[in-house]
Structure 1
């Protein structure tokens, strides 16, 4: 098996894991839409946008999840995953610095995590996305080298 094939399989696997994460979190939010909106309304800095975010966040997660499953769009979707997870993590960290209590609007099992665990969870998935980006770059370099030798 060539390095390119190995990279391709690893990139696909990471994309699949990220896709499952986003499908799960989006579905959890949509199933409990009223609860999700109520929690957003209680979040510092986000409350004025709660109605808009109630639909935008799960929709964005589902779009990214779908794009992760399409090879042509996987690279873009991995970057989008890294950005979205990074944004969530930075927001959580910032709010924890300035607020005593914030509700978790994650949905499902993830809402049971403590904030430190949640940050660690996000960082783990961000690391996966970052690894996929490195693999994509290596794969692209190998493809360029293969083209130069032919």
Structure 2
């Protein structure tokens, strides 16, 4: 049997995880959109995105904004956490591929995040992915 104190603590942890993710995604999307031309140009310098920078430049911040909003809405949180995990996994895979296979390493991140080195960015992403997995696990186990 669950203790109501344990349930409340899980709810608080889920709230904090979702709020932190929402802040991260809204901040990242806003910084990309505020300097949209530079973001698009940097994407265009990547061998992986070449020729697709126009739609990718719109897709990434829109996805970040949608996830940020959904993370604040209880009925969509679990979906948004899975989406967050998928997006952070894609970002990390992109970094790994660019570091290992690209001749030119453009930084298409925005704001403070753009000041990180690539290895630091991978650690940053890994920490956020662990936080996301924690939120998913808590939400999945909450109903059991």
- Aligning the two structures, in what range does the TM-score lie when normalised by the shorter sequence? over 0.9
**What secondary structure is seen at the aligned counterpart in 1 of 2:51?**
helix
Q: Is 1:95 equivalent to 2:98 in the alignment? A: yes
Q: Is 1:125 equivalent to 2:91 in the alignment? A: no
Q: Is 1:136 equivalent to 2:139 in the alignment? A: yes
User: Which residue of 1 is the match for residue 13 of structure 2?
Assistant: 10
User: Which residue of 2 is the match for residue 112 of structure 1?
Assistant: 115
| C-alpha deviation, 1:99, in angstroms | 1.9
RMSD (Å) for aligned C-alpha atoms: 1.0
Q: What is the CA–CA distance in structure 1 between the aligned matches of 2:115 and 2:57, rounded to whole Å?
A: 20
Q: Is 1:61 equivalent to 2:94 in the alignment? A: no
| C-alpha deviation, 1:6, in angstroms | 1.4
Q: Is 1:21 equivalent to 2:21 in the alignment? A: no
Question: Does the Cα contact within 8 Å between 2:28 and 2:111 map onto a contact in 1?
Answer: yes
**What secondary structure is seen at the aligned counterpart in 1 of 2:57?**
helix
User: Which residue of 2 is the match for residue 34 of structure 1?
Assistant: 37
Q: What is the CA–CA distance in structure 2 between the aligned matches of 1:134 and 1:106, rounded to whole Å?
A: 28
Deviations 1:67-105 (A, max 9, x none): 000000000000100100011001110121112431111
Unaligned residue ranges in structure 2 (runs of 5+): none
**What secondary structure is seen at the aligned counterpart in 2 of 1:48?**
coil
* TM-score, structure 1 as length reference: 0.91
Q: Which moved more, 1:19-28 or 1:130-139?
A: 130-139
Unaligned residue ranges in structure 1 (runs of 5+): 142-150
Q: Relative to total residues, which structure has the larger helix share, 1 or 2?
A: 1
Give structure 1 regions of 4+ aligned residues with deviation exceeding 4 angstroms. Answer: none
User: Which residue of 2 is the match for residue 147 of structure 1?
Assistant: none
Greater Rg over alpha carbons, structure: 1
